[in-house]
Structure 1
Amino acid sequence: MEQIKQNKMGIAPIPKLIVSMSLPAMFSMLVQALYNIIDSMFVAQLGESALTSVSLAFPVQTLMIAVAVGTGIGINSLVSRRLGERRREEASRAATHGLLLAIFSSLVFALLGLTLTQTFFQAFTDNQTVLQMGCDYTYVVTIFSFGMMIEIGLEKTLQATGNMIYPMLFQLSGAVINIILDPIFIFGKFGVPALGVRGAAVATVIGQIASMVFAVVVIIVKKHEVHISFRNFKFKWRTVKEIYAVGFPSIIMQSIMAFLVTMLNTILISFSEAAVSVLGVYYKLQSFVFMPVFGLTHGVLPIIGYNYGAGNKKRLLSALRLGTLIAACIMTVGTVLFLAIPDKLLMIFNASPQMLEIGVPALRIISICFIPAAVDILFSTFFQGVGMGFKSLIVSIMRQLVVILPAAYLLSKIGLGYTWYAFPIAEVVSLVLGGIFFWTTYRSKIRNLRPISD
């Protein structure tokens, strides 16, 4: 039991543990959300075409983040389970494989960005201004994606050991640098030429690379429970398979978001560019509500994974219950804000009268889904923590493909204002399915869980 006793995830009181592990991630995610909003505020000052171009680029960025975070979740789940099983060498091997996977992923996106960016934007618009701005932005963020990929991989590795402070500092450093550089590169200050939308992308990748450098230095200089090392390293496909057993479903889940936004943009562009801008602004605003919940899951996931590996059913379920309660409280606050002041939220982005007309009812309708989404997100975290990422994938496919897109398409035939009801409809269906999956998983894997022997 020595290893379990030494790791706080096996012995600390669950409420204190969740707070201590989640608060740093929640804080850094709030800063990330603030960056997303400030970035779009600056871009909006360039005009509605600039805002539309960045909104159309959003699915590409979402796809990159999906691969980075999904791979990271796979690393996190595997490392935390191996630590719970007292197999530190295998945990370190998983972390080293994770770094290689991050580097490989960045090379793939650089190639795709160079070859497919213009074709992607031509599929949505023949407005040459929007097309040029979108390409300028996307070329930069894809070609230089290595900063984000590597930083997220290292961040998830440290979170798996219970270290939440350094991952918070990694994210904070990148976001703060990004916020500072945005107006400098977008509008041209201190001798830097005004780069417009491309400047927003340059500021983004500089922040990501700076964050990556910080993470690499910490990994090399500081002592951690796992060690990334290529000395006597042997690449093993089995380890990659174990990472992606959880990571690949997570990648698909988050990639579905990119596909969802792309398809929703296709539906909304038939009404107006303003409708596309409203959807883009919504995703920026909702990040301020959802990001703290995702930060919460960063703390809850390794606790669930560790205690599942250690066979501690009581602590596993306590972490899930408390995490769900906290997430629901956060989402309740978000719902109240979206219902009470949608116009003020939209005016943060210099919303035109047409955007206000479309966006005020849209934000109010979509916010109905926030509280059910809190439970859905924690169900997904639970499935990932116990190594059953495929169930998370099924629930997400129901939310973001099987239900929401057909519902949005059919409701759009009635009118633009009805399209937004697809969000709460999909979330409720997902909640029911997630509950069924949780109960079957509990009966098969959790109910008879026993602590591992010495």
Structure 2
Amino acid sequence: MAQSISKTVLFEQAPIPRAVAQLAVPTILSSLVMVLYNLADTYFVGMLGNPVQNAAVTLAAPVLLAFNAVNNLFGVGSSSMMSRALGRKDYETVSRSSSFGFCCAVAFGLLFSLGCTVFWGPLMTLLGADSVTWEATAGYLYWTVTLGATPAILNVVMAYLVRAEGSALHASIGTMSGCLLNIVLDPIFILPWGLNLGAAGAGCATFLSNCVACIYFLVLLAVKRGRTYVCIDPRKFTLKKEIVVGVCGVGIPAAIQNLLNVTGMTILNNFTSAYGADAVAAMGITYKIYMVPMYISMGLSQGIMPLISYNYASGNIRRMKQTVWFAARAALTLIITVAVFYFIFPGFFVSLFMDNQIIIDYGSRFLHGFCLRLPFLCVDFLAVGVFQAVGMGREALVFAILRKVLLEIPALCILNWLFPLYGLAYAQFVAEVILSAAAVIVLARLFSRLSREKACA
């Protein structure tokens, strides 16, 4: 395969800055476009000037975040397995791992929709919806979850599968196509001059956009048949122990990490909802603003995972280490710059989404707390990406439990008690400072162990 030869050069010989840029930049761009489409929901719903509609999008966010549990289980798990198999030149495992990830993503997407629909009432209560926000939140969830869970999950998982063999550009184009369409459709479905559906319109636009992204990936794989190791043929699906353990060993800890994120976000929203719809809307807007640098960090860590996995499996530890250190320096420089601007001009960024002085005041104080954690979050994301890339699912799980169960959730309770409402924005900062220090220690020990093993081989 001519394509596999070019990808081998990228993984094994290209200069580190060029290899990282070729793999990570498209992933970061697609992540930023995903942020834009999340911001678009908030922005266009905010144009209605109705805090209840904006609060609905915020309250529904934990359910959409829960999609990432399935995305990570079969996307991160399968892509890590695929890249490591490519490093060993085990192409049969690559095909079977991708088929396993694809088929399971479809099945779990359908189960997710069914489960949320059956337990609709308890779910809405758990999210913090009340008599004021219930109808708007239900309208948004109908399109994004009841109808939209499967396409939302599937398009992300297929992007992971395509990216695993180095096709970061195609993965990003597929993701970005859906996101850009969502941005175009949002005002048409949400605003009074269009269909005037409010938050439900934002959900409908998201559903249609995810369907388009899925179609792009299905067409891409059909066109590239015979020139790619990514396989979505159900006939290649297998429950062989080495495939299931290899995928789930990385995917399950990654999924648990996201479920814990959902738990943390749900607790945050429930605490915030006690202060009214204005506070909920402000917290939602602030979180969306904060997502821009967060997704840059996430996109970088996901983008370099195939490069790390490949060189780890092929035994090129020196190149693997160079990749991580280069990515860390580049990411921290950018993230710290963004955090400084957020800290100095918080009111400006919040006012872009809703010209309401109460919400701007709330949001400015929230953003101060959120932006402090960004550099530490960047280090943590990069470390967890390395753990997932080399198959260290246990370490990734330990970090997830530390972040949410032992650090962030207790901090939310304590800080909300000490500093009502405003203390909530600083809970994640406390958690990430501790985790980033632990990440540096664990990474240093990993590289030291790999170097010793290489020297003894």
Q: Deviations over 1:196-229 (max 9, x none)?
A: 2111101001000000001000011114431415
Asked if structure 1 preserves the Cα contact closer than 8 Å seen for 2:103 and 2:237, the reply is no
Question: Does structure 1 residue 135 correspond to structure 2 residue 150?
Answer: no
Match of residue 21, structure 2, among 19, 22, 25: 19
Partner of 1:164: 168
Question: Does structure 1 residue 28 correspond to structure 2 residue 30?
Answer: yes
Matches within 5 A, 1:337-352: 337-352=341-356
Asked if structure 1 preserves the Cα contact closer than 8 Å seen for 2:95 and 2:236, the reply is no
Match of residue 189, structure 2, among 185, 188, 195: 185
Partner of 1:155: 159
Match of residue 400, structure 2, among 396, 399, 404: 396
Letter in 1 for 2:364: V
**Aligned-pair CA distance for 1:141:** 1.0
Match of residue 219, structure 1, among 208, 218, 221: 221
Matches within 5 A, 1:360-379: 360-379=364-383
Report the RMSD for the aligned CA atoms in angstroms.
Answer: 2.1
Cα distance in 2 for partners of 1:219, 1:411 equals: 49
Cα distance in 2 for partners of 1:418, 1:125 equals: 19
**Aligned-pair CA distance for 1:307:** 0.2
Partner of 1:81: 84
Match of residue 430, structure 1, among 424, 429, 435: 435
Determine helix, strand or coil for the equivalent of 1:420: helix
Partner of 2:103: 100
Cα distance in 2 for partners of 1:306, 1:369 equals: 31
**Aligned-pair CA distance for 1:147:** 1.3
Determine helix, strand or coil for the equivalent of 2:133: helix
Cα distance in 1 for partners of 2:311, 2:351 equals: 46
Deviates more, 1:364-373 or 1:122-131: 122-131
Determine helix, strand or coil for the equivalent of 1:128: coil
Partner of 1:10: 12
Cα distance in 2 for partners of 1:199, 1:363 equals: 28
Q: Deviations over 1:110-149 (max 9, x none)?
A: 1022122332223455642410111111122112222122
Asked if structure 1 preserves the Cα contact closer than 8 Å seen for 2:82 and 2:94, the reply is yes
Cα distance in 2 for partners of 1:445, 1:247 equals: 23
Q: Deviations over 1:1-54 (max 9, x none)?
A: x98886121221111100111111111211111111121111122310111111
Partner of 2:199: 197
Asked if structure 2 preserves the Cα contact closer than 8 Å seen for 1:66 and 1:255, the reply is yes
Deviates more, 1:46-55 or 1:208-217: 46-55
Match of residue 332, structure 1, among 327, 330, 336: 336
Deviates more, 1:67-76 or 1:194-203: 67-76
Partner of 1:252: 256
Letter in 2 for 1:437: V
Deviates more, 1:433-442 or 1:59-68: 433-442
Partner of 2:453: 448
- Cα 1:237–1:129 change in 2 (3 A) is farther
Cα distance in 1 for partners of 2:235, 2:124 equals: 46
Letter in 2 for 1:19: A
Partner of 1:307: 311
**Aligned-pair CA distance for 1:421:** 2.3
Q: Percent identity?
A: 25
> What is the TM-score with the length of structure 2 in the denominator?
0.93
Q: Deviations over 1:355-412 (max 9, x none)?
A: 2222212211221111111111111111111100221221122122211121121111
Matches within 5 A, 1:374-389: 374-389=378-393
Question: Does structure 1 residue 59 correspond to structure 2 residue 73?
Answer: no
Cα distance in 2 for partners of 1:174, 1:98 equals: 21
Cα distance in 1 for partners of 2:187, 2:386 equals: 40
Deviates more, 1:145-154 or 1:350-359: 350-359
**Aligned-pair CA distance for 1:153:** 1.7
- Cα 1:351–1:20 change in 2 (3 A) is same
Letter in 2 for 1:440: R
Asked if structure 2 preserves the Cα contact closer than 8 Å seen for 1:293 and 1:330, the reply is no
Q: Deviations over 1:282-306 (max 9, x none)?
A: 2211121111222212221000000
Q: How many residue pairs end up in the alignment?
A: 449
Determine helix, strand or coil for the equivalent of 1:387: coil
- Cα 1:376–1:114 change in 2 (3 A) is same
**Aligned-pair CA distance for 1:231:** 7.4
- Cα 1:316–1:123 change in 2 (3 A) is closer
Structure 1: gaps spanning 5 or more residues? none
Asked if structure 1 preserves the Cα contact closer than 8 Å seen for 2:321 and 2:447, the reply is no
Asked if structure 2 preserves the Cα contact closer than 8 Å seen for 1:102 and 1:153, the reply is yes
Asked if structure 1 preserves the Cα contact closer than 8 Å seen for 2:103 and 2:234, the reply is no
Letter in 2 for 1:427: E
Cα distance in 2 for partners of 1:210, 1:299 equals: 23
Cα distance in 1 for partners of 2:324, 2:87 equals: 17
Cα distance in 2 for partners of 1:451, 1:273 equals: 62
Partner of 2:208: 206
Q: Deviations over 1:56-86 (max 9, x none)?
A: 1000000012321342111110000000001
Structure 2: gaps spanning 5 or more residues? none
**Aligned-pair CA distance for 1:435:** 2.4
Asked if structure 2 preserves the Cα contact closer than 8 Å seen for 1:22 and 1:296, the reply is yes
Letter in 2 for 1:165: L
Letter in 1 for 2:309: G
Cα distance in 2 for partners of 1:283, 1:309 equals: 37
- Cα 1:450–1:303 change in 2 (3 A) is farther
Partner of 2:360: 356
Cα distance in 1 for partners of 2:283, 2:115 equals: 25
Asked if structure 1 preserves the Cα contact closer than 8 Å seen for 2:7 and 2:165, the reply is no
Cα distance in 1 for partners of 2:290, 2:192 equals: 29
Determine helix, strand or coil for the equivalent of 2:229: coil
Asked if structure 1 preserves the Cα contact closer than 8 Å seen for 2:62 and 2:127, the reply is no
Asked if structure 2 preserves the Cα contact closer than 8 Å seen for 1:312 and 1:450, the reply is no
Asked if structure 2 preserves the Cα contact closer than 8 Å seen for 1:269 and 1:275, the reply is yes
